[in-house]
Amino acid sequence: MVERASPLGGGFRPGSHGDFADGNGVTISEVLKGSIVEANAWPGKEKALAESISATCRLTLPALPGNGAASREGTCAFNIGPGRFLVSGMDEALAGDIIAAIGDETGTVTDLSHGRTVLSIEGPRVEWVLAKLFALDFSLTAFPVHAGRATAHHDVFVQIQRRGEKRFEFYVFRSFARAFAKTLCRAAEDVGYTIR
Amino acid sequence: MSPRRTRTGGLIDRARTIRFTFDGESYTGHAGDTLASALLANGVSLAGRSFKYHRPRGVFSAGIDEPNVLVTLLREGVREPNIPATQIEIYDGLRAESQNRFPSLAWDLGAVNQLGGRLIGAGFYYKTFMGPVIGPLKGTRFWMMCEHFIRCAAGLGRADYEADPSRYERVNAFCDVLVVGGGIAGLMAAEAAAKAGKRVILAEQEPQTGGFARWSDETLDGKPAHQWVAELTERLTRFDTVRLLPRTAVWGYYDGNTLAALERVHDHVARTPKGHARQRHWTIRARDVVLATGALERPIVFPGNDRPGVMLAGATRRYATEFGVLPGNRTIFFTNNDSAYEAAVAIKRAGGHIAAIVDVRPRIGDAATALATEAGVVPLTGRAVAGTKGSRALSGALVQAFDAETGRLSGEARPLECDSLAVSGGWQPVLHLASQAGAKPVWDEDKQAFLPPEPAQRWTGAGAFLGKFSSADALASGRDAGLKCAGKRPSRARLPEIAPEALNPAPAPVLEIRGRGKAFVDFQHDVTADDVRLAHREGFVSVEHLKRYTTLGMATDQGKTSNVPGLAIMAAARGITIPEAGTTRFRPPYSPVAIGALAAERYGDLKPERFTPMHDWHVEHGAEMTPAGLWHRPLVYASAGETVEQAYIREAAAVRRSVGIVDVSTLGKIAVKGPDAATFLDRVYTNTFSTLKVGKARYGLMLREDGIAFDDGTTWRLGETDFLMTTTTANAGAVMQHLEYCLDVLWPDLRVHLTSVTDQWAGAAIAGPQARAVLERCVTGTKVDNETLPFMGIVHGQIDGALVMICRLSFSGERAYEVYCGAGHGQHVWEALMEAGEPFDITPYGMEALGALRIEKGHVTGAEIDGRTTARDLYLDWMLSKKKPFIGSGLMDRPALIDRNRLRLVGIVSLDGQKLGGGAHLVERGSSDEPGESIGHVTAYCYSPALQKYIGLALVRGGKARHGTRVLLSDPLRRRFGQVEVVSHHFFDPDGERMHG
Amino acid sequence: MLIDCPHCGPRDLAEFSYQGDATRTRPDPASTDTKAWLDYVYNRPNPAGLHREYWQHAGGCRAHLVVERDTLTHEIRSVAFARSADSGDAA
């Protein structure tokens, strides 16, 4: 298969940037997911859909607002709206598996593997950096590990999953990814950041 | 040694000397000084000129309420005007300039305005310049002529013409309790809430916490108050759940307990470190708020009360105690309450000389008497200051007998020598935020002050904000407020002992001494007591009208010192009480906020932008990019020396001659899926989609509910229940929202899901007679011949290993195909298409050529679907199904929408060989100077390579009925007037033979 | 202003877009009663006080909500999904 090009361009340079007086505040990287799909349940079929995803992705996804899960292999799923889930994994075949697994009577699945770009940000100052971009409470109690949130930064829709205490993954529309990454990096300059 | 600096004492660091300049003169101060305290220490009493009359002014306060000494800071290449000197922490190399003076502070030409003082009263500008003046210079025209000179003479600091290079940022914060104000009350509240496990933010506008405790002489359990406060602050920093924000003014209280604050992060150091923000705007969403904003001292209004050397009594106390600066060599206190006596003692202890204490009250209590004795004077009770002497500096005060009951002066005015006059008119709790949060303050006759109202949002007051002015009350009410926010009951645990015992600062109800000469109420806007009375005489009696007519309280200090005296004077003029006069509602911001801090990263190179997958290729291949909404799209790919027009003509001609390729990735794309998808599309489109076969596309038109055209595009049926809708680039978001509304609100029973897939697909349109030949050279896995891929057909295949979906549709009127692939493969596929097109000299083309081709073909876009046109106006009646209702069908047949004389789509051809212009009007008669009535306008124009003429599309009254007629183009902005012929908008290949062939 | 989205929880106003009066009733799609259509599209009571209106959580879960808001104080009394709201203009 043809390799997928990154939308981030030459401005997203690996290395250390910003003020390192207190060490590296955050690390920012692009996560090259093989598959990203949006799965959407018909009203009343939310649980069935979550169960299908759970079975296909080998994780336990509760069908509750804002909840999410991740498998040991790194397959992730989280809720982004009523009956709507974003599912992703490193394997390019996963999208097809999910499309096959979810029947017409349960809901629909749309492949977004090319349409969303995933950025990971992690590090001790991650909550500080993210507070500059989003009107969301990033504290662990308000936003637990694996939970998902749909929000926006100016005109840019962003879906966020917390992957660890100090680690988040951002799903942004591919066309916005370059501008978003630039904004993210700028916000991290005062704490020092590394692009990997 | 500075002339006014005390030998010892204060919280400044005397070991550290700091050098700065003011109006070019070099001065020194110490770490911990503000610009105001350092200037006073250096004996600089004249530090500003007033707004309207250019009167000499000096430092009046010690905090955020400073109305007089606003300076311009020259910092990191920028002039920042109107910063109160009391809010500036000095640093080595600080450069400040005074404002509103020419040529210098001491010799100011504008001061002649004072001579005309009687003329420039309230409403002067309105009356003189805006009113009806007889003759040629009527009303506004006269104003416009004079305005330039007035603007030069009046005003505050001058803004810079250069862009502000400073960096600002915005931060969002969430907490259980936001404590506004870091005095004793606020600190106690923060500690109580933090101990109960709450997430706390404490914002203090000054660099240090403590507030009044930093300059009181009190002790708490034997410790100096400032030390006790420092220890408590240190304890707070140990909580993980507490964030202390010094130098942070909370300036706005909005709905839902959302508060706005400005943190001056690096204004106190010479240079903002790279990568850091100079200022930070905080949006704080707090479950509960503690308002511990303290109180501000009010002046008494009397003639000559603005002379440099007149200062608030509490400010003199603060300068002496916190900064080790004496206000003068001989200080007179003038008061209506006891707090000035404490200030007098503080000045005495710091080594100053008290010349007198003038008190409007006929008699005073024992506590005040004892303090007067300690200050070394016998108070002059039942007297008032009725005037001041001096020009650029105070040299004396006129003291006269005064009756607090009647407000009358009597007897001889006795001159007393002094170079400093400290005034106290009592204390007013800082209610701005509570007022912003939606409730009216309540007047307290005893305290002669407005007190906080019942909360309209989740806030709790504490300390002096409540009108409780003692430190003991601050401790108790602060702790209780913190406990209340934590859902706990008030505590009875022991609180620190405070010494000495507090006085009752309730004042006598005297806020004005009426005498001869200008008595200022609002120093910053030069509003006098007489101006307030003038407003009353002229009928502007409501406080809201008073404010607007005189501009009282509308300056950058938002009337912090002038509000209550102004109300008192108006109430007296109307013969009513202060509460009857009422207050104005405070509006944000409480203190000035730089626009840059509000804009933060929304400004400059961080604005959101969208790039297509082929963006870098376009740039590398010489495309001139143009913004299309947030997108960047190629305008033309100009060769060296080519103009834009030459380039697009070449590109468009290449499409007609051989083949061209254009990036169409920006088109909105929406996946419409589900068993009811076809039904849904039938309802939102004017034409029918349920009859569309799988593997085919159809052009569709949407209307708004009011019958006006909304958007157009093709929708592809990829499966029985699976459609791909395309929208115009500009309307992608609006269409998505419209469709979501339909599903959520109008037809929740339909089983349809929508997903934006605009970014999933890269799109390239290949157009021209050789388009098929290009595809044949690179597409595998499917045929692309006319039979397999007829007009509006869809096939799936591969190009150089990447999966593609190809739909045969045309925007240019040529044989054309849209090739879609995964966005991550976009550039790969594009390059493969370029390579396959090489034998045909494939030409990449941009927006200009795309536009020229569509104009030649008569296709409409957003320029014609402009929110006013109907389907019929655009001759798209054939798309309006008669077999089913659809959105817009209910109202599209209203008489006005089907009138024959509406503006309808036509083509126009330039008859004089000159360019047309978008937005130019069409007229039937007249000349370039006096064009006749407009009968329509040009929506799009280009040079048509196919027709070798300048052509355009236009919306013209009557439309088709005018075909073959000649009208005039009137374009005065471009100085163009010429003849055009009205023709069919299908300029090129009207029967579509090229497209279908 | 915050709107307590039933799916996402309280979110800033900036994430929502106003989608109009939620008290109007869409005529039968095939209706030719022009007055009914005009009422639906144009005529609004604009009350001072409690008002039912649609808001879309456009910068969040995308759901349309019915918000009961006091137009004088901005106080929000209730928020519900438009899909499950008991009245409105389901047609």
pLDDT tier, A120 (very low <50, low <70, confident <90, very high otherwise):
very high
Rg (CA), chain A: 17
* pLDDT value of residue B122: 66
Cβ atoms A39, A49 nearer than 8 A: yes
Q: What's the rounded mean pLDDT across residues B803-817? A: 95
**Chain A environment of B757 (Cβ under 8 Å):** 110, 112, 115
Q: Tell me which residue has tokens 């799923």.
A: A77
Test B613 with A7 for CB contact under 8 angstroms: yes
Residue C1 has pLDDT above 90, yes or no: no
pLDDT tier, A77 (very low <50, low <70, confident <90, very high otherwise):
very high
Residues with Cβ < 8 Å from B687, sequence gap 6 or more?
Answer: B698, B700, B701, B879, B880, B881
Q: Tell me which residue has tokens 């933010």.
A: B201
Cβ atoms B865, B712 nearer than 8 A: yes
Q: DSSP assignment, residue A38?
A: E
C-alpha to C-alpha distance for A141 and B197, rounded to whole angstroms:
13
Residues A136-169 as b or e (16 or more Cβ within 10 Å = b): bbbeeeebeebbbbbbbbbbbbbbbbbbeebbbb
Residue B940 lies in a domain: yes
One domain, residues A155 and A175: yes
Residue finishing a domain among A111, A133, A151 = A111
List pLDDT tens digits, range B715-725.
999 999 999 99
Q: DSSP assignment, residue B961?
A: G
C25 interface with B at CB cutoff 8 Å: no
* pLDDT value of residue C90: 35
Residue B884 lies in a domain: no
Nearest to B891 among C17, C41, C89 (CB): C41
The pair phi, psi for residue B916, each rounded to 5°, is -95, 180
Residue A139 lies in a domain: yes
Alpha carbon of B687: minimum distance to chain C alpha carbons (Å): 15
One domain, residues B647 and B685: no
Say which CATH number the domain at A95 has.
3.30.70.1520
Q: Select from C5, C62, C66 the residue whose CB has the most chain B CBs within 10 Å, as the one to mutate to test that interface.
A: C62
List pLDDT tens digits, range C67-84.
999 999 889 999 999 998
Say which CATH number the domain at B925 has.
2.40.30.110
Nearest to B751 among A42, A131, A180 (CB): A42
C-alpha to C-alpha distance for A128 and A24, rounded to whole angstroms:
13
Residue A175 has pLDDT above 80, yes or no: yes
Test B258 with C40 for CB contact under 8 angstroms: no
pLDDT tier, B501 (very low <50, low <70, confident <90, very high otherwise):
confident
Two tokens, residue B420: 């400093």
Say which CATH number the domain at B375 has.
3.50.50.60
C-alpha to C-alpha distance for A115 and B348, rounded to whole angstroms:
75
Alpha carbon of A121: minimum distance to chain B alpha carbons (Å): 17
Q: What's the rounded mean pLDDT across residues B832-850? A: 98
Nearest to B748 among C2, C26, C83 (CB): C83
B772: enclosing H helix or E strand:
helix B771-778
Q: What's the rounded mean pLDDT across residues B791-801? A: 98
For B877-924, the DSSP string reads: GGGS-SSS--TTTTTTT-GGGS-TTSEEEEEEEESSS----TT-EEES
Alpha carbon of A155: minimum distance to chain C alpha carbons (Å): 8
Q: DSSP assignment, residue B242?
A: E
* ipTM metric: 0.98
Residue B145 has pLDDT above 70, yes or no: no
Residue finishing a domain among A73, A94, A111 = A111
Sign of CA dihedral A106, A108, A114, A120: negative
Q: What's the rounded mean pLDDT across residues B359-384? A: 96
CA distances from A85 to A52, A78, A148, B826 (A): 12, 5, 9, 26
Beta strands in B205-263 (DSSP E): 219-220, 223-224, 242-245, 248-254, 258-263
Say which CATH number the domain at B803 has.
3.30.1360.120
* Full domain range(s) for residue B979: 900-996
Amino acid present at B730: A
Cβ atoms B916, B986 nearer than 8 A: no
Tally C-beta pairs within 8 A across A and B: 139
**Chain C environment of A66 (Cβ under 8 Å):** 7-9
One domain, residues B769 and B652: yes
CA distances from B19 to B58, B69, B80, C49 (A): 21, 20, 20, 59
List pLDDT tens digits, range B597-628.
998 877 667 888 999 999 999 999 999 999 99
C-alpha to C-alpha distance for B969 and B919, rounded to whole angstroms:
10
Test C14 with A81 for CB contact under 8 angstroms: no
Alpha carbon of C80: minimum distance to chain B alpha carbons (Å): 12
Residue B131 has pLDDT above 60, yes or no: no
Q: What is the torsion angle, in degrees rounded to the nearest 10, for the CA atoms of residue B726, residue B727, residue B729 and residue B732?
A: -110
Test C63 with A135 for CB contact under 8 angstroms: no
> Which chains border A (3 or more CB–CB pairs < 8 Å)?
B, C
List pLDDT tens digits, range B107-125.
766 666 665 555 566 666 5
Residue C71 CA, distance from chain mean position: 13
Segment among A171-180, B39-48, B49-58, B82-91 with least mean pLDDT: B49-58
Q: How many domains does chain B have?
A: 7
* pLDDT value of residue B415: 96
Amino acid present at B333: F
* pLDDT value of residue B165: 85
One domain, residues B704 and B653: no
Q: What's the rounded mean pLDDT across residues B921-930? A: 95
One domain, residues B676 and B770: no
Within 10 Å of residue B878's Cβ, how many Cβ atoms? 10
Alpha carbon of C8: minimum distance to chain B alpha carbons (Å): 16
Residue whose C-alpha is closest to residue B79's, from B594, B746, B650 = B594
Residues with Cβ < 8 Å from A73, sequence gap 6 or more?
Answer: A58, A89, A90
Domains, chain C, with CATH or none: 2-81 (3.30.2270.10)
One domain, residues B532 and B636: no
Q: What's the rounded mean pLDDT across residues B968-986? A: 96
Mean pLDDT of chain B: 93
Residue finishing a domain among B727, B756, B785 = B756
Residue B776 has pLDDT above 60, yes or no: yes
Q: Select from B178, B753, B796, B833 the residue whose CB has the most chain A CBs within 10 Å, as the one to mutate to test that interface.
A: B753
Q: How many domains does chain A have?
A: 2
* pLDDT value of residue A105: 95
C-alpha to C-alpha distance for A158 and A179, rounded to whole angstroms:
13
Cβ atoms B970, B920 nearer than 8 A: yes
pLDDT tier, B3 (very low <50, low <70, confident <90, very high otherwise):
confident
Going by their DSSP bridges, the two strands C50-56 and C64-70 should be labelled as antiparallel
Q: What's the rounded mean pLDDT across residues A128-132? A: 97
B889 interface with C at CB cutoff 8 Å: yes
One domain, residues A69 and A46: yes
Residue A136 has pLDDT above 90, yes or no: yes
**Chain B environment of A186 (Cβ under 8 Å):** 601, 606
Residue whose C-alpha is closest to residue C53's, from C16, C28, C9 = C16
Which residue of chain B is at minimal alpha-carbon distance from C27? B890
What angle (nearest 5°) sits at the alpha carbon of residue B898, between those of residues B892 and B900?
Answer: 165
CA distances from B970 to B639, B918, B950, B956 (A): 34, 11, 16, 13
Residue A7 lies in a domain: no
Q: What's the rounded mean pLDDT across residues B490-502? A: 93
Test B254 with C40 for CB contact under 8 angstroms: no
* pLDDT value of residue B992: 86
Say which CATH number the domain at A159 has.
3.30.1360.120
List pLDDT tens digits, range B411-425.
999 999 999 999 999
Two tokens, residue B106: 């001491």
C-alpha to C-alpha distance for B90 and B87, rounded to whole angstroms:
10
pLDDT tier, B154 (very low <50, low <70, confident <90, very high otherwise):
low
List pLDDT tens digits, range B236-277.
999 999 999 999 999 999 999 999 999 999 999 999 999 999
Residues of chain B with pLDDT > 70: what percent?
A: 94
One domain, residues B765 and B621: yes
* Full domain range(s) for residue A58: 35-111
Residue B869 has pLDDT above 60, yes or no: yes
One domain, residues A92 and A122: no
Test B744 with C64 for CB contact under 8 angstroms: yes
Say which CATH number the domain at B580 has.
1.10.10
Axis crossing angle, helix B563-574 with helix B543-550, rounded to the nearest 10: 120
* pLDDT value of residue B660: 98
One domain, residues A43 and A27: no
C80 interface with A at CB cutoff 8 Å: no
C-alpha to C-alpha distance for A177 and B377, rounded to whole angstroms:
74
* pLDDT value of residue A152: 93
The pair phi, psi for residue B769, each rounded to 5°, is -55, -30
Q: Is C42 left (phi over 0), alpha (psi -120 to 50) or beta?
A: alpha
* pLDDT value of residue B177: 98
pLDDT tier, B150 (very low <50, low <70, confident <90, very high otherwise):
low
pTM score > 0.90 for this model? Answer: yes
Residue B85 has pLDDT above 70, yes or no: yes
One domain, residues B252 and B189: yes
Residue B733 has pLDDT above 70, yes or no: yes
The pair phi, psi for residue B680, each rounded to 5°, is -60, -45
Residue finishing a domain among A94, A111, A128 = A111
* pLDDT value of residue A154: 82
Q: What's the rounded mean pLDDT across residues B40-60? A: 90
Test A135 with C8 for CB contact under 8 angstroms: no
H helix intervals, B196-312: 225-237
C-alpha to C-alpha distance for A78 and B13, rounded to whole angstroms:
56
* pLDDT value of residue A108: 98
One domain, residues A160 and A67: no
Test B753 with A7 for CB contact under 8 angstroms: no
Residue A10 lies in a domain: no
Q: What's the rounded mean pLDDT across residues B42-68? A: 91
Test C81 with A82 for CB contact under 8 angstroms: yes
One domain, residues B368 and B418: yes
Residue of B834 and B457 predicted with greater confidence = B834
Residue B520 has pLDDT above 90, yes or no: yes
Nearest to B745 among C30, C37, C54 (CB): C54
pLDDT tier, B637 (very low <50, low <70, confident <90, very high otherwise):
very high
* pLDDT value of residue B438: 86
For B367-395, the DSSP string reads: HHHHHHHHHT---EETEEEEEEEESSSEE
Residue A9 lies in a domain: no
One domain, residues A99 and A129: no
* pLDDT value of residue B103: 67
pLDDT tier, C89 (very low <50, low <70, confident <90, very high otherwise):
very low
